């Protein structure tokens, strides 16, 4: 069964909940065991423990919200590719900062039929100040 828009909506809802509840383990569980984040600075973080640590660092830096606009979802067999734009809101001492990016996520279906994120890459588009959310 291909990765569907419904599957994607559930995944995004779990990401939002992970941010709201500051649940590092729930966020990391959305990735394959050998999943990787390919960061805008060129570094690569591999495996759930590294992904969990990075997410914890983002939360500590004030990460409070993420919004995405999915531009495309392509699914075939055991792989799916999601393309979109994201805006992450961070609360700072001086207000809110929104960090925008373009992203591509490769999702992979495991032997158990569960879809997880396998590769997550994004580029930094810019940063703007916001009045909150």
Contacts 24+ apart (CB under 8 A), 37-44: 37/120, 37/121, 38/119, 38/120, 38/121, 38/122, 39/122, 40/101, 40/122, 40/123, 40/124
CA atoms within 13 A of residue 112's CA, in its CB half-sphere: 4
Does the predicted model carry a pTM greater than 0.75?
Answer: yes
Rounded CA-CA distance 71/32 in Å is 23
CATH architecture of the domain formed by 5-130: Roll (3.10)
94 Rama sector, left if φ>0, alpha if ψ -120 to 50, beta otherwise: alpha
pLDDT tens string for the chain (133 positions)?
A: 789 999 999 999 999 999 999 999 999 999 999 999 999 999 999 999 999 999 999 999 999 999 999 999 999 999 999 999 999 999 999 999 999 999 999 999 999 999 999 999 999 987 777 655 4
* Cβ 68 vs Cβ 74: under 8 Å: no
Rounded CA-CA distance 70/84 in Å is 4
Let me know if 9 is exposed, middle or buried by CB neighbors in 10 A (0-12, 13-18, 19+).
exposed
């Amino acid at each position: 069964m291909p990765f569907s828009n419904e599957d994607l909506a559930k995944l995004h809802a779990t990401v939002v909940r992970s941010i709201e509840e500051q649940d590092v383990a729930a966020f990391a569980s959305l990735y394959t065991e050998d999943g990787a984040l390919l960061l805008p600075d060129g570094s690569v973080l591999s495996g759930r423990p590294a992904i969990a640590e990075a997410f914890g660092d983002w939360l500590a830096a004030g990460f409070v919200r993420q919004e995405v606009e999915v531009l495309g979802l392509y699914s075939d067999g055991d792989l799916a590719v999601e393309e979109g734009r994201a805006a992450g809101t961070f609360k700072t001492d001086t207000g809110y900062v929104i960090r925008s990016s373009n992203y591509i996520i490769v999702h992979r279906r495991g032997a158990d039929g569960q879809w997880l994120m396998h590769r997550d890459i994004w580029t930094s588009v810019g940063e703007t100040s916001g009045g909150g959310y």
